Structure 1
Amino acid sequence: MKNIAIIVPEQSVFQAIADPQYCFSAVTDFMVKSGGDPLFHVELVGLNPEVKLNDKRYSVFPDQLLPTDTSPDLVVIPALFGDMKQAVKANEGYIPCIKAQYESGTEIASLCVGAFLLGATGLLNGKKCSTHWGFTNLFRELYP
């Protein structure tokens, strides 16, 4: 079974948290109902016990708070929302944890403009990545 941690950043896109969580969980439910073994264990991981998104229309309650003793196989960084510099600053607390997970062998994936938070870790130095076309110039400026 693969352990997946989806981080719950401040100023993020709610669907970029909910959709991967649903997808991994639905596959696991299908496998178990079909008599197979669960494929994924998914946890939402946050810095705060409640993260309010989309002008406080939605609340997300992480399963775990950082720091955590869990060692996931995959960390998913959802898309951020709004001013990217501000969004990265609001989520700086994730940076040491993402770096430590990577250094311990965990795969790291970012969705869309979640690449800005991944870029802030320094893990993309010398590597290629993709992000939303509307943010490519800013991304190049911040993370050449």
Structure 2
Amino acid sequence: MFTKQITNRMIQVGILITRQYRLLSVAAILDVLETVNTFYQQSADPQPYHISLLHLESDSDKFSTPYWGYETRSIHQTDAMQLIIIPAFKTEDIKQAVGDNYQYIPWLQQQFAAGAEIATVCTGAFLLGATGLLNGKSATTHVDACNAFANAFPAIDLKADKTVTCDGRLYTSGGATSSFHLLLHLIHQHCGRDIAVRTAKIFAIDMDRENQAYFSTFQPMRGHTDNIVASTQQKIEASYQDTGTIEEMIKDIPASRRNIVRRFKQVTGITPIEYLQHTRVEAAKKLLVQTAQQMTEVIMNSGYSDPKAFRKIFRKTVGMTPSEYREKFCVR
């Protein structure tokens, strides 16, 4: 028997139907919240969530009829929301996506000032970041979008490895299935742990997953015109298996070490040493999953000579040990 925490009033939830929203993201939000409403309905209790789909005034012609059976309204036709959820974007051009949805920003600022909670799914965090509301606060986003997020919003305390962050009335989640963990967190806040557990069981969600680092893939910055940095990248990628120092790898590049490090970090967001470590760890991940090499072979073939140092760096970067990573992702 599950006990329910009955909310004092129905929570007004606004899900933004942004331009370039990811359909799966919106569908997951609706499915989970409606499931919680059903729990209450089955025992004749007031449903905790009233859900509206919100859009820009200029997009009104696209939503002239009910959308999936849900009430749709322009953001300028809404009263104060208690909870606003921003879905993920389906495009890789996040800068363009934020620009396309810029009209939401003053409305989000006003809603937050009036007391609303705001939650983002995956890359939806970029739109919230553009409001300035996250400055000085913690946030996360899709692991593969973290570098772009950090560069776009240096005033935000990015927690790249986190599945969910909560800082005051602002919530963010990592990529894809992390949205379920965000929703469980909100349900726990609004309806109590019992309902959150029941929801987790319905959707087969592992409630204890707090880390998303092991889903990341190192994606080197390529879209730049700095020849010195490009040469450094090529040197590292060509010789990462060597156990030599970074100084030895870049000794033929016509620039001082200090100049290389400065320009490299400015362009890529990380130092050459960090770049080397990420390159080696990414190589080790592939060897662990795609080959049957023994651990000593994996260590040597990814450029390490010290097993202890390798395991320490791997765990810090990936969030689990090499053996755990192989067990989790190796296809048998």
TM-score for the superposition, normalised by structure 1 = 0.88
Task: Report the AA paired with residue 142 of structure 2.
Answer: H
Residue of structure 2 in register with 1:77 after alignment: 86
Task: Report the AA paired with residue 79 of structure 2.
Answer: T
Residue of structure 2 in register with 1:29 after alignment: 38
Residue of structure 2 in register with 1:56 after alignment: none
Residue of structure 1 in register with 2:170 after alignment: none
Q: CA deviation at 1:81?
A: 2.1
- How many Å separate the matches in 2 of 1:92 and 1:77? 13
Which 10-residue stretch deviates more, 23-32 or 71-80? 23-32
Q: CA deviation at 1:17?
A: 1.1
- How many Å separate the matches in 2 of 1:71 and 1:125? 23
Unaligned runs of 5+ in 2: 1-9, 155-332
> How many residue pairs align between the two structures?
137
2:136 pairs, out of 112, 126, 143, with: 126
Q: CA deviation at 1:10?
A: 0.6
2:25 pairs, out of 16, 35, 47, with: 16
Residue 115 (structure 2) pairs with residue 113 (structure 1) = no
Q: CA deviation at 1:26?
A: 2.2
Higher RCO structure, 1 or 2 (CA under 8 Å, sep 6+): 1
- How many Å separate the matches in 2 of 1:85 and 1:118? 13
CA distance change for structure 1 residues 62 and 92 in 2, over 3 Å: closer, same or farther? farther
Residue 85 (structure 2) pairs with residue 92 (structure 1) = no
Which 10-residue stretch deviates more, 64-73 or 102-111? 64-73
1:3 pairs, out of 8, 12, 22, with: 12
Q: CA deviation at 1:128?
A: 1.2
Task: Report the AA paired with residue 122 of structure 1.
Answer: G
Which is greater in Rg? 2
Q: CA deviation at 1:87?
A: 0.4
TM-score for the superposition, normalised by structure 2 = 0.40
CA distance change for structure 1 residues 71 and 21 in 2, over 3 Å: closer, same or farther? same
Is the helix fraction higher in 1 or 2? 2
- How many Å separate the matches in 2 of 1:140 and 1:5? 27
Preserved contact between residue 25 and residue 41 of structure 1 (Cα < 8 Å): no
Preserved contact between residue 46 and residue 62 of structure 1 (Cα < 8 Å): no
Q: CA deviation at 1:36?
A: 1.1
Residue of structure 2 in register with 1:55 after alignment: none
Task: Report the identity percentage.
Answer: 35
Query: Root-mean-square deviation (CA), in Å?
Result: 1.7
Unaligned runs of 5+ in 1: 52-58
Residue of structure 2 in register with 1:68 after alignment: 77
Q: Per the alignment, in what secondary structure is the counterpart of residue 92 of structure 1?
A: coil
Residue of structure 1 in register with 2:49 after alignment: 40
Q: CA deviation at 1:62?
A: 6.2
- How many Å separate the matches in 1 of 2:51 and 2:77? 14
